[in-house]
Structure 1
Amino acid sequence: EKMRESLLEAKRETWQMMEARRRLNAAFAHDLRTPLTVLRGYCDFLLKYVPEGKISEEKAISTLSAMDVYLKRLEGYTATMSSLQKLEEIELSPEEVSFERLCDEIKNIPVMLTSNKKVDFHSSGNGVLYVDLSTVLQTYENLVSNAVRYAENEVRVSCVVKDAVLSITVADDGPGFTQEALKNAAEPYFRAEKDMSDVAHFGIGLYICRLMCEKHGGSLVVENAAGAKVTANFAILKHE
């Protein structure tokens, strides 16, 4: 019976991994269409008018500069796709970490991430945790850098341990998530409409956070509360 349950669990995990990869590939293909379409348009424009001498050198250089922006965006997409595939395969390396040390590590994250925004930190908990510290800190860095982008003046951070779960919540006083973002913010390559022109961000930050939480037996919760609020839940692992 135990062997049967183990086989069923292995099948479920394999199916979930395949489904996650399918969604990732679909999102990647979808997001490639826009820059490729734009590049094709610019290319057709140059091929048509440059030979006829109908555009100025200034216009040609301007068009090439615009193409360069989209080429860099494509390069970025390719790099993130490779990184995400590696993240999916990463193995956790849990260690004993005191709650006090974890909070100190979080508070010592470089100030440059928080720009000129005020960061209010609150913690509640104690004892020794058994977690993958680098995974937890990477998740926090993604959450706080995301919050800083949208905050008006303040970012609120709380770190709480309760019922064998470590919860790190990062909230901001910005406009909050749209209804579409509440549903899809943690999906790969999702970007809100107002971010579509930002070629420096690819819409994978919260997806990475979700992936890290799920690897840790937890979850990522996206909601609004006087601004955007995201909670990363990590199950405190047990010693094998």
Structure 2
Amino acid sequence: MLSQFTRLYALIVLFACLIIYLFNQLYHNVVDSGTNYQIDIEQVFQESKNTEVDIIATSSIALPSNLQQELSSGRVIQLVDDQQKHYFYQKNAQGQLLRYGPIDKQFIAQDEDGFYLIIMFYSALAILVLSFIWPLFRDLSRLQKSALQFGQHIDSLNTGIKANSNIYPLAKTFEKMSHQISASVKMHQDLSRTIAHEIRTPLARMKFLSEIVAKDIASEHRQRLVKDVQEIEQLMAEYLSFERLEHDQVMADKQLHNVDDFFAEIADKFSYQKHGFDIAFHSTAAQAYFDQPAMARALQNLINNAIRYAQNTISVQLHIEDGLCQLTVADDGPGVGKEAYKLIQPFIRKQQAGGEKTGFGLGLYIVRKIMIWHQGHVELTNCEQLQGAKISLVWPNKA
């Protein structure tokens, strides 16, 4: 905002000075006849009867070569003595050195007062222009800061812009918009919490009843019921995570962590799941900077995503190169297609062979949000070694 203000201010002052200069020239050339007269100094030397012109010896003054050349060519030169008296010199046709003077400085520099008046005038003009446009840019800067604050934390805002400001209508519209968006987000959060709470109760009853009737129904129906209950639980967990992350604009609290300990903690969580996959963890770096709770959530989402599509093997690797951490999860599943970038958008699900879609399209989006917190990004490619999908998280290795 400051650069825009500087450019506009300089442009206005430049145009104002140009207009005043042109008007001043027009006034002096057309309107002002003037009362002051100027006399060419060469005319003074040509007047043979001028008593103020003296003939002096050329050797009486020492001049540098450039001034001597000026005299030799017949031009007039001006010199000032220790008493600030001005003298004019010229050589006549006979080679004699003529001197005119002394002349007081006030008769020569009589335009200095006018120069200072011009400086004062243009300074006053600049201050006048500043007084007009500075309040506008001050209010715009305040509105910009409010917009940035609103982007970091969605809440009703009061810009504090006064009613006499030129952008007061814009500020009031912005405040009204912030109130509406804040109310909408709060309603959405309340609705999400309510739905989650209301679903948990019947879901708990379903799990309890499924255990009671498990021995009375066929194994395939029992497995289907358990799978449906787990699917609902997963949907709830992903949706609540999505709802929290969607409105959070935070910076990751990156600390230096031991990578092997971090991998051991994640491996321990998946050791209790009966997924039947070989999950291999490997790191070439002993330590790395990351937000452990957020990165644990991201890595678990990636591993859960790989479990859905892998056939036998899942590989988790971390290495640091050129100051960047790269955490990669690869599998031996079908891989990703040409539109892989869409999978990191919310509610975009991968379609398996046969037209069936799996998941709820939130896991990778949550991973992307966590990478934004880490000032990093997500890369989706195919793994040459395992011939499946390869998802890489890349972020700066610094606090």
Which category of TM-score, normalised to the shorter sequence, fits these structures? Answer: 0.5 to 0.7
Indicate if the aligned counterparts of 2:259 and 2:283 stay in contact, CA closer than 8 A.
no
How far the C-alpha of 1:115 sits from its partner, in A, is 1.2
Aligned to 1:227: 388
Aligned to 2:284: 124
Indicate if the aligned counterparts of 2:323 and 2:397 stay in contact, CA closer than 8 A.
yes
Indicate if the aligned counterparts of 2:253 and 2:291 stay in contact, CA closer than 8 A.
yes
The TM-score, its normalising length taken from structure 2, stands at 0.38
Q: How does 1:1-240 map to 2 (within 5 A)?
A: 76=235, 80-88=238-246, 89=248, 91=250, 92-113=252-273, 115-126=275-286, 128-180=287-339, 182-194=340-352, 196=356, 198=358, 201-225=359-383, 226-238=387-399
| TM-superposition CA deviations, 1:64-122 (whole Å, max 9, x none) | xxxxx8xx97xx57x75553231131643333312343333343332245711112222
Indicate if the aligned counterparts of 1:103 and 1:159 stay in contact, CA closer than 8 A.
no
Gap runs ≥5 in structure 2: 5-140, 155-180, 186-227
Indicate if the aligned counterparts of 1:122 and 1:157 stay in contact, CA closer than 8 A.
yes
| TM-superposition CA deviations, 1:175-228 (whole Å, max 9, x none) | 111223x13111111012337554xx2111111111111111111110112111
Question: Using the alignment, how far apart are the partners of 2:254 and 2:245 within structure 1?
Answer: 16
Q: 2:242 corresponds to which letter in structure 1? A: L
Gap runs ≥5 in structure 1: 26-68
Question: Using the alignment, how far apart are the partners of 1:169 and 1:224 within structure 2?
Answer: 11
Indicate if the aligned counterparts of 1:114 and 1:145 stay in contact, CA closer than 8 A.
no
Question: Using the alignment, how far apart are the partners of 1:164 and 1:108 within structure 2?
Answer: 29
Question: Using the alignment, how far apart are the partners of 1:208 and 1:193 within structure 2?
Answer: 19
Identity %: 26
Seen in structure 2, the aligned counterparts of structure 1 residues 82 and 208 have a Cα distance that, compared at 3 Å, is same
Structure of higher CA gyration radius? 2
Q: 2:257 corresponds to which letter in structure 1? A: V
Question: Using the alignment, how far apart are the partners of 2:304 and 2:349 within structure 1?
Answer: 15
How far the C-alpha of 1:12 sits from its partner, in A, is 8.0
Task: Give the SS at the match of 1:193.
Answer: coil
Seen in structure 2, the aligned counterparts of structure 1 residues 134 and 176 have a Cα distance that, compared at 3 Å, is same
Task: Give the SS at the match of 1:161.
Answer: strand
Q: 2:391 corresponds to which letter in structure 1? A: V
Indicate if the aligned counterparts of 2:289 and 2:397 stay in contact, CA closer than 8 A.
yes
Superposition CA RMSD, Å:
3.8
How far the C-alpha of 1:131 sits from its partner, in A, is 1.9
The TM-score, its normalising length taken from structure 1, stands at 0.61
Q: 2:390 corresponds to which letter in structure 1? A: K
Greater relative CO (CA pairs within 8 A, separation 6+): 1
Q: 2:282 corresponds to which letter in structure 1? A: H
Question: Using the alignment, how far apart are the partners of 1:122 and 1:97 within structure 2?
Answer: 15
Indicate if the aligned counterparts of 2:342 and 2:348 stay in contact, CA closer than 8 A.
yes
Seen in structure 2, the aligned counterparts of structure 1 residues 93 and 112 have a Cα distance that, compared at 3 Å, is same
Task: Give the SS at the match of 2:269.
Answer: coil
Question: Using the alignment, how far apart are the partners of 1:119 and 1:203 within structure 2?
Answer: 23
Seen in structure 2, the aligned counterparts of structure 1 residues 109 and 234 have a Cα distance that, compared at 3 Å, is farther
